[in-house]
Amino acid sequence: MIDIKNLHKSFGNNEILKGIDLQINKGETAVIIGPSGSGKTTLLRCINLLEIPNEGSIAIGESKLVFNGNKKISNNEILELRKGTGMVFQGFYLFPHMTVIENIMEGQITVLKVSREEASKKALKLLAKVGLLEKKDHYPYELSGGQQQRVAIARAMAMEPEVILFDEPTSALDPELAAEVMKVMKELSREGMTMVVVTHKMSFAREAAHKVVFMDDGLIVEAGTPQQVFENTSNERLKQFLSIVDD
């Protein structure tokens, strides 16, 4: 499903990703953990081509791009790879002038070119899935942060991506609201949605991940099942990180 090989990304002279190799199978939830500045979010943004890697390759499903600092990637190539992904950010980025259901319909109509009737039908189904059907005609400012993030997840799902990328989806939320969002994400994981999740929530990684990836200083230091990473690691840097993480 996702195959990343020898991925490098620098900003000026600052090398953030230093040769990432990562494979994620269809239906897996991969959770990326690590200290701040380790390259987690940059890796996620490279997968979605919000940042263009300097070197290496990314394949998502049948689409693949090879990066070389001297070769310009075209907009069509970016769109071809990106259409297989949905992204849920730290901030919710809902359209403030649109209702909840309109937010979920918009991409379907403008990008997928489906009818308003079909878009509405899918939006209602997804709102029921995330437990917000009764909020369909509300505006974002009328929702809690947890509710807004659940709408953002529904919006990403409406585009029928092969994989959904989550960048610290609960970091701006208090524990109760974060639990609402995590509940939806765990359900998606159980249903076999392919997901890549950057988070500081170790409890989510333990409970929902098929694969846990520990990054430090731009490298993948260890990757394995939750049991391997949390209980059986022999890596001292990972042990140190886990000893100071409170969730």
Q: Report DSSP letters for 103-116, one per residue.
A: HHHHHHHHTS---H
What's the pTM? 0.93
**pLDDT level of residue 246 (50, 70, 90 thresholds):** low
In a domain, 123, yes or no: yes
Pull the structure tokens for residue 233: 């690691």
Strands 211-216 and 219-224: antiparallel
146 domain residue, yes or no = yes
- How many domains is the chain built from? 1
pLDDT digits (tens, 9 = 90+) for 89-115: 988 899 999 999 999 999 999 999 999
pLDDT digits (tens, 9 = 90+) for 168-205: 999 889 999 999 999 999 999 999 999 999 999 999 99
Is residue 21 domain-resident? no
- Domain holding 123, by residue range, is 87-160
In this structure, the chain runs to a length of: 247
Rounded Cα distance, 239 and 234, in Å: 8
How far is Cα 92 from Cα 83, in angstroms, rounded to an integer?
20
Distances (CA, A) of 134 to 100, 101, 125, 137: 10, 10, 12, 8
Coil, strand or helix at 167: strand
247 in a structural domain:
no
* Residue 119, domain member (yes or no): yes
CA distance 28 to 243: 26
Q: Is 15 a member of any domain?
A: no
Q: How far is CA 111 from CA 13, 104, 115, in A?
A: 37, 12, 11
151 falls within a domain: yes
